[in-house]
Structure 1
């Protein structure tokens, strides 16, 4: 089973300009996730925008079963880009990878992802014609 963490590297938190940051918050989070995810066997990719700008530092967790069927996917946001955020996101992605459907019971969610879920995306239905 393959699970991916897609990170919006263009994300900037509201105080980005005031902090005189030279790297976007999303790029900082992406780097931290890539380090954590490599150790966990989770694939990563960066995109320039996930259209969640009001909740900077957005990620999407997606996956497939060994048979190529899609799993439930999750959008998360409002992170600050810390290594702790990356660890919690990667831990959740590992739980997603271990789940046959992608559904992860709430009681097993890492503390660091609670309150960051934006939406859950159900797999497309299998249509027999």
Structure 2
């Protein structure tokens, strides 16, 4: 019998626009961050997906890190950079390795420190 941990997902808001976003640039800040996170997650034990609007516009750029049966997190206020994307993915990998989704602060990548917006308990198994 497998004891494989549930898949950890990184959900990236692709409609996020940071203050000063220039429509002439084409892609939204969220689309740019999503592309960087997707590239950083390639060959890593996490999955990514894009959604249009996580409703955290005041906190953009936003991502959610989730797995069934674990604590789930929303992170935001990110600059768009490869360092940011790598930090998000590295933290999500640690989340995936944790039985509860809780990751010891001392192991957090610097790029995610100060970016946590909310933490949600896992949904109950039954009604």
Q: Is the structural similarity TM-score above 0.5?
A: yes
Write out aligned runs for 1:1-129 (5 A).
Answer: 1=5, 2-17=7-22, 20-64=24-68, 70-127=69-126
Q: How far off is 1:87 after superposition?
A: 0.2
Q: Distance in 1 between matches of 2:125 and 2:18?
A: 39
Could you tell me how far apart the structure 2 residues matched to 1:71 and 1:92 are?
14
- How many Å apart are 1:55 and its aligned residue? 1.2
User: Please, which runs of 5 or more residues in structure 1 have no aligned partner?
Assistant: 65-69
Structure 1 runs (4+) greater than 3 angstroms displaced:
none
- Tell me the CA shift for residue 126 of structure 1: 3.5
Shift of residue 14, structure 1, vs aligned partner = 0.6
- Equivalents in 1 of 2:125, 2:66: separation in Å? 17
Deviations 1:41-74 (A, max 9, x none): 210000000000011110000013xxxxx21000
Gaps of 5+ in 2: none
- Coordinate RMSD, CA, aligned: 1.4
What is the CA distance between 1:21 and its match in structure 2? Answer: 2.1
Q: Normalized against structure 1, the TM-score is what?
A: 0.89
Question: What is the rounded CA distance, in whole Å, between the counterparts of 2:112 and 2:72 in structure 1?
Answer: 14
Aligned residues: 122
Q: Normalised by the size of structure 2, how large is the TM-score?
A: 0.91
Between the aligned partners of 1:7 and 1:27, the Cα distance in structure 2 is: 8
